[in-house]
Structure 1
């Protein structure tokens, strides 16, 4: 049995390399496997299986705490760093407005769908403790508004239990996968749907210029690489001390703010990392090592997902059908609000599709859906999806407390 941090860390690193290798493999079996089970879900399930078979004992491991303290703020910093606020002006006000409306509909749908659960099957859901329904739903909201990094951040801020977190991960995979298939189906028939809805086709298409990283002189590039590395190390190692100071100060002078998690070290780590990411996104740092920084952030995210998978309790799946019902109501509210505005303003159906996918799907799948409607919309989709990283954690944190007030 593997029990030490060194053994567990080495095993998970080898496992992650194996997962990445098979994911990029041309073998038909693996292609089908990853088409059914996304990479993120595999990274969560496999460690859970090894833990349940007693191959790994992570009960005394400190790896999760290390990852939470150092990796998570760094991930958010790297992801937010690529936000290009100046290029967002190229997207167009209507498409950008629909994207914001999509985020608002998710924030509205969360409390309403939880109220639905409180009315129709209150005894099947937990309302108190780490695995309370509102806590799990706040992590799902963070994922739909931003991405996996935001979901992991909210898990720590709201002290969400691994059981309900695992269920929400499965629900996210289910709904985002099905919705993407539906949107690709709609893309093939967008002209007929626009005619049916009597959409004003003068709004279509909106082109966003192909955005390319700014080319800088080699000396200037090295200069920004050094700055970026310094800030990254500062985020990784120093935000913990600053966040601890802020949390302790607030706890000593404003103890009433404890119920809003404002005395949490991790909350302030996320806030500081978000602020630094936004600050440096306004500089040339966002043009340096764009792909490399994003890949590094994703690597940290997958490591954290694997560590959390070690604590997965399979008995949590017993409540999954009820959460699927709640998720369906939530998703329906999101879609119906976007649909009403699309019809009222006679917008092409592509506005609904891209705005929704930039929220639900995130930066990975949004350009795929956007390209299905028109190839030159991919850049706009990436811009809006990345923007979600900047506000997802704060919105999910706030709406989470609104959902906490909903009781059967």
Structure 2
């Protein structure tokens, strides 16, 4: 049994690192085709926790609290360094409108699913749908940020991760399967394909990061976390805008501001943020168990309901606004799949459109956390949860 804080953190980092390395080294393994490394990290950490490998004493509990307090804001800040709002606005009004409608469909779907399944899942289901909204509006990093801000129980993040992985995979397969039917869809929607010119790939590419850049980025991320934590202590209070919520909102604003500084040109921020994300997911999973995931099948069905509501809104929008299938599909996947999959769908239409998918997915990082918090606030009100 590992009782020290150093051993606790080292084992979590090693677990996440090994799984990510295996996924990159052996992508052909069937396991990695169905379960991404982020989900495997969560499941394996739960298995180890159930086996009693960690003592989970007071020292480790304090370390867990400090990790969430500092590393989650640092991760959000590093992700947002690449998100220049001016660059995102170059996508044009049609793509931005499609993205907004896709996001609205996900938020409405979460409300519908909560109302339909609340009696079966219990009042605490609001936290699952809030964290899932954070992920399906932005990415897994936004999910973790919403979980930290709203202090959602660790087990509920496990539900959200499973729904995010399995239901998202089904949605991705559907959107890719629809690509050959684009002409028919566009004729039905009377679509006017007015795609903007692709963004310059040079603005999206990053060179290999050196140790000086990584150290500087790590320092900036941690300093931003400390500043946002202090702002949370000063401005946070009772009600919805607690210390943790203000902390996440503050670091989001700081990250967007720093995107206009020379720091944004440093390479490695996305890789460093991803490393922090895996460490955070492993740490959260170490505090839960499989016994807490008894309602997983019902949550998977609820996730499909969210996608059905989202898809129905996109179909109506396509008909009324004459949006082509590419615009609808990439806007949808930029929310639900993020940077990892929106460019894949864009490339299925044309390789020249990959930057469009990347930029739309980056927009999700900007709105994902705030959108998840908004959904959480609405669901708390519907569920009668005191704020």
Using the size of structure 2 for normalisation, the TM-score is: 0.90
User: Which residue of the partner structure matches residue 69 of structure 1?
Assistant: 69
Equivalent-residue separation in structure 1 for 2:52 and 2:222 (angstroms): 36
State yes or no: 1:259 paired with 2:239.
yes
Alignment of 1:241-320 (within 5 A): 241-247=230-236, 251=237, 258-260=238-240, 262-264=241-243, 266-289=244-267, 292-320=268-296
CA contact (8 A) 1:146 1:389 kept: yes
User: Which residue of the partner structure matches residue 43 of structure 2?
Assistant: 45
State yes or no: 1:138 paired with 2:130.
yes
State yes or no: 1:155 paired with 2:157.
no
Using the size of structure 1 for normalisation, the TM-score is: 0.86
TM-fit CA distance, 1:38: 0.7
TM-fit CA distance, 1:407: 4.2
State yes or no: 1:337 paired with 2:333.
no
CA contact (8 A) 1:214 1:287 kept: no
Q: 1:222 to 1:320 in 2, by over 3 A?
A: closer
Equivalent-residue separation in structure 2 for 1:210 and 1:168 (angstroms): 35
TM-fit CA distance, 1:400: 1.1
Residue in structure 1 matching 2:356, options 369, 380, 398: 380
Equivalent-residue separation in structure 2 for 1:319 and 1:295 (angstroms): 34
Determine which structure has more spread, i.e. the larger CA radius of gyration: 1
Residue in structure 2 matching 1:181, options 156, 170, 173: 173
State yes or no: 1:203 paired with 2:193.
yes
TM-fit CA distance, 1:279: 0.7
Q: 1:298 to 1:344 in 2, by over 3 A?
A: same
Q: Which runs of 5+ in 2 are unaligned?
A: none
Equivalent-residue separation in structure 2 for 1:162 and 1:26 (angstroms): 30
User: Which residue of the partner structure matches residue 110 of structure 2?
Assistant: 110
* CA deviation string 1:81-132 (max 9, x = no partner): 10122222432221111001111111222212211224xxx1x2221xxxx0
Equivalent-residue separation in structure 2 for 1:4 and 1:138 (angstroms): 33
Q: Larger deviation: 221-230 or 364-373?
A: 221-230
User: Which residue of the partner structure matches residue 185 of structure 2?
Assistant: 193
User: Which residue of the partner structure matches residue 218 of structure 1?
Assistant: none
CA contact (8 A) 1:44 1:305 kept: yes
- Alpha carbon RMSD of aligned pairs, Å? 2.5
Give the ranges of 4+ consecutive aligned residues of structure 1 lying more than 6 Å apart after TM superposition: 221-227
CA contact (8 A) 1:88 1:380 kept: no
Alignment of 1:1-150 (within 5 A): 1-26=1-26, 28=28, 31-60=29-58, 61=60, 62-118=62-118, 122=119, 124-127=120-123, 132-150=124-142
State yes or no: 1:389 paired with 2:365.
yes
CA contact (8 A) 1:224 1:285 kept: no
Equivalent-residue separation in structure 2 for 1:90 and 1:263 (angstroms): 35
Residue 2 of structure 1 aligns to a residue in which SS?
coil
Equivalent-residue separation in structure 2 for 1:74 and 1:272 (angstroms): 11
Q: 1:236 to 1:106 in 2, by over 3 A?
A: same
TM-fit CA distance, 1:58: 2.5
State yes or no: 1:326 paired with 2:315.
no
CA contact (8 A) 1:162 1:313 kept: no
Aligned length: 378
